[in-house]
Structure 1
Amino acid sequence: MGTLTPFAPDARTRELLTDAAEEVGRVTDGRIGDLVGRALLATLTDTVGVGPSGQVFVITGDIPAMWLRDSTTQLTPYLRFLERSGQLADLVEQVVRRQFGFIAHDPYANAFNDGPTGAHYEPADVCEDPAVWEQKYEVDSLAYPITLAHALWRRTGRTGFLLDAPTPGVLRTVVDQLRAEQRHDTSPYRFERATAIPTETLPRGGRGSPVAETGMTWSAFRPSDDACTFGYNIPANLFAAEALLALAEIATEVLQDMPLAGEARTLSAELVAGVQAHGVVPGPGGVPIYAYEVDGLGGSLIMDDANTPSLLSLPLIAPTVLDPAVWAATRDVVLSPANPYWFEGSVLRGVGSPHTRDRRVWPIALAVEGLVGTPAERRRLLRMIADTDAGTGRVHESIDVDDPTVYSRPWFSWAESMFCELALTVLDDERARVV
C-alpha cells in the first residue's frame, strides 16, 4: 500500500469478528467458519490503508485503486457491527468521507488513486487526471456511497460527516448529474479507448449508442466495468431511485434542505416511471420481466450480470421501488438458460458475466442468489462457494463450472465480503429459528 499503513483492528473489533465467525462455524461447519473468520480480518488488514492524516484508501484486492462501488460492498458485512465497535464505525465514516471527496473531484470517474499519482488503467485514455485511475461513468458509483452514508447514519446516529464539506455539495452534484444524464445527448461526457475490445470503449466518438429520452438516467458502463450495449441499465436505475430516497431522508432530517429532498424524490419517481414504461418487457411466454438494458428506441437485452447492481439483487439494493411480481418473474429468467450468462456444469450452476469467459460462475452472484432466496437456499449456496475455492481459502472472481481449480482473480475482496455477508445471514436465520 505504499505510504499507507495497513488498518489494524483493535481488540474489540477482533473479538466481534472472531465470535461471529466461530458461531458461523457452529451452525454450518468449522471450515466455513474458518473461511469467514479469515476473510473478515483480511478485508480490513489487506485492503484498507490509513494515511498519515487519517485518510483511508480501500483497494479492491489485486488492483491498487479504490472503486466507489467495491469499497462500499467490501464493507457491507461490517455494518451489523457498527453499534458495537466504535473503530468500525470510524472506519466506515472515513471511507464515506473519502468517497464523497472523490465524487467532488470527478463525479464521472469510477476508480481513483490515493492522490495525484498519475497511475491509470490505460494511460492513453481521454481522461488524463492524475488522481483518476479510470473514468468509466457508472450510475452505481454515485448510488453506492449514498447508501453507505445512509446506513452509517441510521445505525449510529452520526451526522457530522453529513454536515461537513464536501457532503452537502456532493449530494447536490449527484442529483444534478443523474438528472443531466436523463438527456445524454447534451452531456459533456465522452469515453474512448484505443482497443479492439468493444466493451472497453464507447461508439459514436465516445458518446455511446443512441438513446431516446425516457425519464431514466444514462450510464456508460455496467458495474462489471463493461460498456453498456444500450444506455439505460435497469438495475442501476432502480438502485439510483432507491439511493435518491435515502438522499432525500438525509437532506430532510440532517441537512434540512427541503428543496434538495424534494428534487431527489421527484427524480427517484421519474426513474421508476421510466423503468416501468420502457424497462419492463415481455419475457418467455409473454410474462412481464425487467430487461437488463434498453435504449428507449426498441432495443433491449434480456440477461443479467453477476456484478451488482444486478436484476437478481434488486430486493437487496432497491427493495421499495421494485415491482415484486415483475422481479419474481425476472428472477426465474435470470436463474435459467433464458439468461445467456447462466451456466451449469458438473460442479457449479449460477450466473456469470460477459466480463469473464463462458461457463464461469461468479461467487458474488451465488451469494446474491442466496441472500434473495430462502434459508435453505442460503445454506446450499454458502456450501457451494466454500467447496469451490480450490483449496486456496480465498473466494475468486469467477470459477469454471466443471473445474474449480480454473478461476479468475486469486484475490477478489468484493467476492469475499459477499461470501461473509451470506454466511452472517445464515447465522441470522439460525438465530431467528432458535428464538
Structure 2
Amino acid sequence: MLPQYATRLVAAGAAAASLVGPVLSATCQSYTSYSQYRHEPYSTGAYALSYQRPEPACRTFNSTAVEDAILQIKNLTTDPDLFRLFENTYPNTLDASISWRGFAANNTEEELAFIITGDIDAMWIRDSANQVAPYRSVLKSKDDDIASIFRGALNLQGRYLIISPYCNAFLPPPEANLHVQPNGASYAVTPPYDHHVVFTCNFELDDFGAFLQLSHDYYTRTGDVDFFGKFQWIQAIQSILAASEALRKPTYGPDGAWIPPAYTFQSQTMTAFGTLGNNGMNYPVNYTGMVRSPFRPSDDAAIYDFQIPANMMLSRYLEATAQIMEKLPNAPQGLAGEMREMAAGIRDGIEQYGVVTAPNGQRIFAYEVDGFGGQNLMDDANIPSLLSAPSLGYLEANDTIYQNTRKFVLSRSNPWWCQGSVINAVGSPHIKPGAAWPMAAIMRAMTSDDDDEIINSIWEVLQSTDRFGLIHESVNSFDASQWTRSWFGWGNAVFGQMIMELAERKPELLKESFQPRHRGSL
C-alpha cells in the first residue's frame, strides 16, 4: 500500500490529464511522518539541526529560482545552523505542500494549485497565501517557474471566496480527483455551506486580506495586470466586498431593532474558543466602519469582533489592489472606488475606536474592540498581529502609537507574552500560557531595525527547534523539547521570508554567529 501522501499524487497523475506538476514516486514517505524524525546529515553547529528536505524526486514542486536563492543565502551566511534552518524552511512549501496542480475543468488556461497547510490535508486561504508569499523575493516575471504557483493559488482561492466567502479552509477541487474525506465535525453555520467543498467555516477576516496581499505581491513583482482580468479575480473581489459590507453592520439599527447577523457559528467543543457565544452570534457590536471578524487568525473565537490587525490588513490591501482593478478594462465601473472607500472607512474606524489608553497612560492599539467601549488589550502570535502592523505595510515602524503598542506587546503587560530561558515571544490562547510561538519571534525581527534585537530573536528561534530544523507552532519557553506540531508550514514560510528580507536590508547580520556563546543581549 502506498503512503497516503504518495497515493494522492499518483492517483491525480493517473486520473487528471491536466496535471502539470511532478508525480511522486511510490517510495516517497508522507512528509507528515518524515518531519517527525531527525535526519542526517546534521548541521555542523552546536544545535546539530536535522536535514528536512525530501529527496528531489519526492518534492511537490521544483523551482530553479528558489534553489538559486538557497545558494545565494549559503554564500551570505557563516553560521551552519542558521543556514540549515533556512535551507529546510524556505523551500518547504514547494517541497511538501503543493498537493496538486492543474487547470480548471471549464477553462484550460486557468491554473489551479491546491496547497495544504502542512500536517492537515486542507487548504486554508490565509495559510496558503502566507506559504506562497515568501517566494515574491525571487519572482521577477510572469514567465518565472514560481509564477504559476502564485497564479494557481490565487485562482483557487478566488473560486473558494466566491463559493463560500465566510469559510476559511477548503477541500481539493473536483479537478484534482484527490478523494480527501470531508471534515466530520458538526457545525451549525449561517449561511450554510457544502461539506464536500469546505473543510472548516470559521470566518476570519484575514483571509480576505491574505488573498488581496498575495494579489498585490504577484502584480507588483510581475506587472502582469492581464491575469487579473482573465478568470474570476474580479468576482472574488466583489464577493469580498459584499461579505465585508454585510459584516460592517451593527447589532442594532438606528431605531434600536436587532439586525440578524450575516454569519453565525456554533459547534460542540471542549474549548470556549472553539465556538461563538450568544447562540453563535458572539458579543454585540456598534457601527465603527470596521469589519467583524468572529474568529482570529489562530482560528480561535474572538472576544470582541472588531479585530484590529485583520482590519489593518484589509484596509491596506483593499487600497493597494484597487490600483489593479482600475487598470482592468472589464472591471465594473466604480468598483475600484468602492474598494478605496471601504479601505478609508476601515482606517477611520481603527483610528477612532482601535486606539485606546493603556494602563500606563500611553495610547496603543487594542487587539479587539466592540465599538461600545469594550476593548481587549493583548496580542496573539498569529499574523496579522499588532506586532506585524509595519510588515503589513499599514504604517511605518517608527509610528508613535505602534511603538507604544510594541512595548506593550513585548512585555508582561500583554497576557500572552511568554518569557523563558529558551525563547521570549508572544504566545496564543490557541495553545496555553507559557507556550511561545517562534513565528512571533520571527515577526519581532522582521519589524525591528535594532541589530541586537534581530540577532537575539533569531538565536532564540534556532534553539527552539529541538534540533528538528523546522519551525514548530509553539514551544515551552523554558523547555525546547516541549512543542506542538513538527510540521507547521506557515511558520516555516515566515522564517524563510525573514531571511530573504534580511539579505536585502541587513545582509551583514547574516554573517553573524548564532552559536550559544554568542547570544545577543537586550
- Where does 1:28-177 land on structure 2 (aligned, <5 Å)? 29-53=79-103, 55-83=112-140, 86-115=144-173, 119-126=181-188, 127=192, 129=194, 130-177=196-243
**Is the Cα contact below 8 Å between 1:120 and 1:134 reproduced in 2?**
no
Task: Tell me whether 408-417 or 383-392 shows the greater mean CA deviation.
Answer: 383-392
**Is the Cα contact below 8 Å between 2:114 and 2:153 reproduced in 1?**
yes
- Where does 1:33-432 land on structure 2 (aligned, <5 Å)? 33-53=83-103, 55-83=112-140, 86-115=144-173, 119-126=181-188, 127=192, 129=194, 130-183=196-249, 185-255=259-329, 257-320=332-395, 324-376=399-451, 377-431=453-507
Which secondary structure does the structure 1 equivalent of 2:328 belong to? helix
The yes-or-no answer on 1:25 pairing with 2:82 is no
> 1:320: how far off?
4.5
> 1:234: how far off?
0.7
Q: CA RMSD in A?
A: 2.2
**Distance in 2 (alpha carbons) for counterparts of 1:241 and 1:128:** 27
**Distance in 1 (alpha carbons) for counterparts of 2:145 and 2:131:** 16
**Is the Cα contact below 8 Å between 1:303 and 1:334 reproduced in 2?**
yes
Which secondary structure does the structure 2 equivalent of 1:49 belong to? strand
**Distance in 1 (alpha carbons) for counterparts of 2:130 and 2:149:** 14
> 1:191: how far off?
0.7
Gaps of 5+ in 2: 13-22, 25-58, 104-110, 251-258, 511-522
Larger Rg: 2
> 1:62: how far off?
0.7
**Is the Cα contact below 8 Å between 2:133 and 2:217 reproduced in 1?**
no
> 1:95: how far off?
0.9
The sequence identity of aligned pairs, in percent, is 30
Q: Deviations over 1:204-223 (max 9, x none)?
A: 22111111111111111000
> 1:200: how far off?
0.6
Distance 1:353 1:120, change over 3 A: farther
**Distance in 1 (alpha carbons) for counterparts of 2:102 and 2:207:** 26
**Distance in 2 (alpha carbons) for counterparts of 1:50 and 1:113:** 12
Task: Tell me whether 303-312 or 209-218 shows the greater mean CA deviation.
Answer: 209-218
Q: Aligned residue for 2:42?
A: none
Which secondary structure does the structure 2 equivalent of 1:383 belong to? helix
**Is the Cα contact below 8 Å between 1:20 and 1:424 reproduced in 2?**
no
**Distance in 2 (alpha carbons) for counterparts of 1:23 and 1:257:** 49
> 1:384: how far off?
1.5
**Distance in 2 (alpha carbons) for counterparts of 1:71 and 1:11:** 17
Distance 1:118 1:10, change over 3 A: closer
Which secondary structure does the structure 1 equivalent of 2:344 belong to? helix
**Distance in 2 (alpha carbons) for counterparts of 1:279 and 1:208:** 19
The one-letter code of the counterpart of 2:326 is T
Q: Deviations over 1:250-283 (max 9, x none)?
A: 1112355551111111111111111111111101
Q: Deviations over 1:71-113 (max 9, x none)?
A: 1111222111011771111111111111111111110110001
Task: Tell me whether 202-211 or 64-73 shows the greater mean CA deviation.
Answer: 202-211
Q: Count how many residue pairs are aligned between Structure 1 and Structure 2.
A: 432
**Distance in 2 (alpha carbons) for counterparts of 1:37 and 1:408:** 21
**Is the Cα contact below 8 Å between 2:439 and 2:495 reproduced in 1?**
yes
Write 1 or 2 for the structure with the bigger share of helix: 1
The one-letter code of the counterpart of 2:262 is P
Distance 1:318 1:119, change over 3 A: farther
Which secondary structure does the structure 2 equivalent of 1:423 belong to? helix
The one-letter code of the counterpart of 1:330 is T
Gaps of 5+ in 1: none
**Is the Cα contact below 8 Å between 2:438 and 2:473 reproduced in 1?**
yes
> 1:135: how far off?
0.5
**Distance in 2 (alpha carbons) for counterparts of 1:311 and 1:327:** 8
**Is the Cα contact below 8 Å between 1:23 and 1:427 reproduced in 2?**
no
Which secondary structure does the structure 1 equivalent of 2:199 belong to? strand
Q: Deviations over 1:232-263 (max 9, x none)?
A: 10111111111110221111123555511111
**Distance in 2 (alpha carbons) for counterparts of 1:11 and 1:234:** 36
Task: Tell me whether 419-428 or 270-279 shows the greater mean CA deviation.
Answer: 419-428
Distance 1:429 1:299, change over 3 A: same
**Distance in 2 (alpha carbons) for counterparts of 1:11 and 1:355:** 34
**Is the Cα contact below 8 Å between 1:209 and 1:230 reproduced in 2?**
yes
> 1:128: how far off?
5.3
Distance 1:12 1:309, change over 3 A: same
**Distance in 1 (alpha carbons) for counterparts of 2:404 and 2:450:** 20
Which secondary structure does the structure 2 equivalent of 1:286 belong to? coil
> 1:311: how far off?
0.3
Distance 1:196 1:50, change over 3 A: closer
> 1:176: how far off?
1.9
Distance 1:379 1:258, change over 3 A: farther
- After TM superposition, the score normalised by the length of structure 1 is 0.93
Structure 2 counterpart of 1:13, from 40, 47, 65: 65
**Is the Cα contact below 8 Å between 1:153 and 1:159 reproduced in 2?**
yes
Which secondary structure does the structure 1 equivalent of 2:99 belong to? strand
The one-letter code of the counterpart of 1:44 is L
Distance 1:90 1:137, change over 3 A: same
**Distance in 1 (alpha carbons) for counterparts of 2:476 and 2:216:** 37
Which secondary structure does the structure 2 equivalent of 1:340 belong to? coil
